[in-house]
Amino acid sequence: MQTDPLTGQMLNYSEVQFMLAEAALKGWISGNDSLYYNKGVLAYMQMWLPTSFTQALLTSGGTTGGGFLGDADISYLPHLSFDEKMDLIHLQKYYALLWCDMQQWIEYRRTGHPVLPKGPGLRNNGVMPARLNYPVEVQSTNPTYYKEAVASQGPDNIATQVWWQKP
């Protein structure tokens, strides 16, 4: 889809800020999860509209949820529960990762956040896919190791949990 090898994102600044927000919320690092969250939102807004968004425009109104965050009902407020904060962090991270291949899905599988709508077209009994099927090329060109992998991991379908998801 891209022809210029220098175009694209591997890890953008907003994604880093959302990682820090999650780590601070979980107590893995010291720091202000709210500040990291606001920096993450500001960074991806400025990525798309570089001259239109400032910190003041984003958060005017302080902890009462004013500014863009308050108007969009996405303010990261102190009274929110852990799950509500995780959902906010990962919903904004989901938006920030819009053009980053399948990273949104990987983050959802890792955390279960954000809560995503599940429409009637979703296979797998309405459960989000846990993995991708092995490509037909792998199945046909390397059948011995394909069968060995399937025997070790479980059936080659979207419902089979990967090793870190298994209880």
Asked if residues 44 and 52 have their Cβ atoms less than 8 Å apart, the reply is no
pLDDT of residue 89: 95
Q: What is the pLDDT of residues 75-103, one digit of tens each?
A: 888 899 999 999 999 999 988 888 777 78
Percent of the chain that is helix, strand, coil (3-state, to 5): 50, 0, 50
The domain over range 13-111 is classified in CATH as 1.25.40.10? no
Q: What is the pTM of this model?
A: 0.75
Q: What is the pLDDT of residues 28-44, one digit of tens each?
A: 999 999 999 999 998 88
Res. 59: pLDDT tops 70:
no
